[in-house]
Amino acid sequence: MIIRQMHVNEADKIRQIDRSEQIDRIYKMNGGQLETVPMGHECPTWDEEHTDEMVNRFRCELEQGGTAYGAFDGEVLAGFGVLGHRFRGRNQDQLQVDLMYVSRPYRRQGLATRIMNELSRVAKERGASYLYISSTETESAVGFYRANGGNLTEEVDEELYQQEPEDIHMLKKL
């Protein structure tokens, strides 16, 4: 498995990602605390419309100066992460983890952690003090970010909150 920087002309490789997942629990914020909510359903992979949105989001972020890293099994994209281009936060010292996905057959092998380490390194090189994480509310995603240094933040980015009000917002100190 090779982890390497991805380029804008590789955006269509995202179509190879199997985003499907069995979701047993999600988290919700309740009075500043995480609350566990049972779910018990199978989340399918992206449909064509959602895949097109992800490809365009990837492409747009990289064209504006964002950075992407992918995990490749030969020519197959097993997972990827995107570091946003724009500084955020009161002190303008945060860069967002914009996208982070690993295909179902490749999960639990450390790929997302390796990608996260690359995004953290690049963010630090760009002068960021924190990664801003707007995590989907699934137990697996929140657990991953927390295991990789993410902590709940009280300073929620309003723009990102408006886009995904159910997300769990975290910061990772670099």
Tens-digit pLDDT profile for residues 124-160: 999 999 999 999 999 999 999 999 999 999 889 999 9
Query: Are 82 and 16 in contact, with CB atoms under 8 Å apart?
Result: no
Q: pLDDT per residue over 8-32, tens digit each? A: 999 999 999 999 999 999 999 988 8
Per CATH, is 2-173 categorized as 3.40.30.10? no
SS3 155: coil
Residue type, position 68, single letter: A
Query: Are 22 and 42 in contact, with CB atoms under 8 Å apart?
Result: yes
Query: Are 111 and 78 in contact, with CB atoms under 8 Å apart?
Result: yes
pLDDT at 31: 84
pLDDT at 149: 97
pLDDT at 154: 86
- Taking Cα atoms as reference points, which of 142, 144, 141, 134 lies closest to residue 164? 134
Q: What is the mean pLDDT of residues 95-112?
A: 97
What pTM was computed for the model? 0.94
pLDDT at 26: 94
Q: What is the mean pLDDT of residues 77-106?
A: 97
The encoded tokens of residue 124 equal 């630090």
pLDDT at 114: 98
SS3 66: coil
User: Virtual CA dihedral for 5, 104, 139, 39, nearest 10 degrees?
Assistant: 150
For the chain, the domains span 2-173
SS3 122: helix
